[in-house]
Amino acid sequence: MQGKVEKRMIVGRGMTMAAVAALAMTGAGMVAPAPASAQTATMTDTKAAPQEDPYIWLEDKDGAKPLAWVEAENKRTLARLQSDPRYQTFYREAYAIAAAKDRIPMPAQLMGRIVNFWRDADHPQGVWRRTTPADYANPAPKWQTLIDLDALAKAEGHKWVWKGATCLQPDERLCLVALSEGGEDAVTYREFDLAAGRFVDRGFTLPTSKQGAVWLDKDTLLVSRDWGAGTMTASGYPFVIKAVKRGQPLSAATELFRGQPGDQLGSYASVMTDAAGNKAVIVERRPTFFGGESLILVDGKLVKLDMPARVFAQGLVDGQLLFQTSEAWGDVPAGAIASAPLSAVRTGRFTPQVVFAPGARQTVDGFATTRHHVIANVYDNVRATPMVFTHANGRWTSRALPLADNASVDVVSTSDASDQAYMQVTGFLTPTTLWSVDASGAARPAEVKALPAKFDASNDVVEQFEATSTDGTKVPYFVVHRKDAKLDGSTPTIMTAYGGFESSMTPYYSGITGKLWLERGGSFVVANIRGGGEFGPKWHDAGRKTKRQVIYDDLAAVAKDLIARRLTSAAKLGIYGGSNGGLLMGVEFNQHPELWKAVTIQVPLLDMLRYEQIAAGASWVDEYGSVTVPEERAFLAKISPYHNIRRGVAYPEPYIWTTTKDDRVGPQHARKFAARLKEYGLPYLFFEDTAGGHSGDADIEQGARLQALQMTYFAQKLLGQ
C-alpha cells in the first residue's frame, strides 16, 4: 500500500538516466506560518533536546545488537496484529489477488516476441517468459520460460529478485539481466541470449554493485559501478563510466568519463536508437539529483551539450533527439517536450524545438517512442489525455488518443520495429485494461486484455475535490467512497500522498485496497499535494528544500476539507505513505496529531539531521537541503520527525514498518523513531521485514503479509474491535 504501483517494465532499449533517477528516489510563493497548534508541536526546544543521539547504535544496520532489538519489537507487534482474527482473512484476500493467474501479463516487445515477468503462487520469485504476439492476444497464451528465478535461487542459494533487463539494439538478441539479492538496489548483471533461451557461457557478468550498464555494441558495455576505492559517491552511486570489452576482466576496462566524488547521484551512460539506424550515446553526470550535465559521444570523443541543467534527453525518433524539460530552455518552457536534429546535437550547440508545452493544469508524465511517433502520457487536472506526436517536414503535429476519461493512461511497451504500442487504462473503480495502439493512426485502439474485477465497486463512486492550503493554493484530491455514505463524519477513511521528487499520484486500480477496505465500507483518498509532478515542475519546486512546509500544509488542508465536508472525521481518518511519503507521514504525525486516528509510516526518512549519512541519503540534498547550510539545517531541525517528538502530546499510535534490505533509505530512520517513542512512553507499533528492499516485494507472500498487517492496524484503529 505504498501508493501508485510502478507500471513500466524496465526491459528493452535500456534505461535512460531519468529511469535511474526514478529508481534512486526514496521515495510557490512564501511559506505561510503553521497553525498555533502545529507550531507548538514542531518547535525545536534546544534546551530540552539531547546534545547527543542516544540511538545512533541502531544505525548499525546488520549489527547483532540492533537486530536483536528489531526481533523483540517484531515479536511484540506481530503478536498483536496477527492475533487479530481479521489478519488471516486480510492475508488470504491479499495473497489471492496478488497471486491470481487472471492478472494481466504486462508485455514488453523483444525480437518480435512478447516478453513478460510473472509471479504467482507457483512461482513466488517469478519467471521471465515469452510468447508470440498472436498467441499473447489469446486468453491463455502458451508461454516459454526463459528464466525461472525460483529454480535459480534454489540452485545458487540466493533470494534473487528480478530487477529488469536491458537489451542490445536493434537485434535485441543479447540482454543484460539484473538480479538483486533480497530486493536491494544493488544488482548483479548477467548476459542472456534470447534466441538460445539461456545465459551466455562466459558472457558478460558484472558482480553486485549499485550500477548501470548499457550496450555500446555486441562486444562492448558502458558501465557505471564500484570500480574500487574512491569510485562511489558519498550516497553510494557510481561516478566513473568505463567501457568493458567482451572477454576482458573488469580491471582492463577503459575509462570513458569521470564525475566527482561529491556528486549526489553519480554518472551513467544511456544509448538511444531509432528505426532509421541512428544512435545517440549520452553520458549524464548528476552533481545534484535534479540537475546535471549531458554529453554525447561523437567519433569516440565526448561533446558537452549546451543546455540547462534540468533538461535531459529521453528518446530518439526519425533522427530527432527528444528532451524533457524541468526548467525553461530558450523558447521551450519548463515541463515541456522538446526536440532537435541529432546531427545538430552532435555539435554540442543547437536550438530546441517545442514538441508539446503543457498548460497551467497539465503535466507530461513521461513519453515513449515508436518507429515514427512519440506517445506522451499527458495529464490535465490529474486526468489522462494521452497524445501522439509526429515529426514531418520540419514540424511536429499532434493528435489525442481516445482511450478513456477520468482515468490514468500509461505506455506499457513500445518498439523501434513498429508503430505498435501497448497502453494500459486504469482507474480507482475501473479494473485495468490493456490496449493495442497503432501510433500511426491507421487503426483504432483495440482492447487486448482486461483484469477481472477484484472487488464489488457497484455501490462506490469517485469524486474529485479541491482543498485550500494555507497560502491560498488549490490542492486537488480524489475520494472513493460508497454512494450512500452518510455525510456525518462516520466513514472510516484512509488517505495517501507522496509530495516529492516531481512524482505524480494519478488514479489507479488497487484490487487489494478495494477488497480489504472499500468492500468493508471504508473510504479511500489520494491527495495531489505539492512536491509532486501533477502540475509540472512548478508544483514540485514550490515545495523543495526550505519551502517544504507547504507540502505538509497541503495534506493537512485536504484532511480539514474532508472533515468539513463531513466525509469523515479525525476519529475515523488514517493516513499512510512510504519513502518520501513516509517522511510526510512523520511530519504530519508531529504537526497535526489532532487530525488523525491512525498513521502508517512506511520505509521512511525520519531523522532529517542525519539523513545525509544514512544509506543513499546524500543523493537527496537537491530535494531536502543539507545540514551543512545553516538556513537549511534550521528548517530540517524544525520538521525532522525524529527530533520533534514531544513528551505528553496526545499522538495517535503509529504503525511504522521498514525492511532490513532497504539500501536506499535504510531501516535506521524507522528504528530510531520507534526507539524515541518508546523512551517517551508513547504508544507505537514497529515491524521490520528482513527482505524486500525499499519496495518490500521480494515475493508475493511478503507483499501480501505487509498489506495484511497494515490493513489490520487500520481496522483496529478505524473500524473498531
- By annotation, the residues acting in catalysis are 579, 694
Q: Report d(CA 273, CA 217) in Å as an integer.
A: 12
Find the helix packing angle between 668-679 and 580-591, rounded to 10°: 20
Q: Position of cell 499527458?
A: 378
Q: Answer whether 532's CB lies under 8 Å from 478's CB.
A: no
Q: Answer whether 714's CB lies under 8 Å from 513's CB.
A: no
Q: Report d(CA 568, CA 494) in Å as an integer.
A: 10
Count Cβ atoms within 10 A of the Cβ of residue 251 and give its class: 0-12 exposed, 13-18 middle, 19 or more buried.
Answer: exposed
Instruction: Report how far Cα 356 is from the mean position of its chain's Cα atoms.
Output: 24
Q: Show the cell assigned to 99.
A: 497471486
Query: What's phi and psi for 382, nearest 5 deg?
Result: 65, 25
Which of 661, 669, 670, 700 is closest to 187 using CA atoms?
Answer: 661
Q: Report d(CA 235, CA 663) in Å as an integer.
A: 10
Which of 223, 234, 237 is closest to 265 using CA atoms?
Answer: 237
- List b or e across 79-103, with b for residues whose CB sees 16 or more CB atoms inside 10 angstroms: eebeebebbeebbebbbebbbeeeb
Q: 192: Cβ–Cβ under 8 A, 6 or more apart, which residues? A: 146, 147, 165, 174, 175, 176, 177, 198, 199, 200, 203
Query: What's phi and psi for 553, nearest 5 deg?
Result: -65, -35
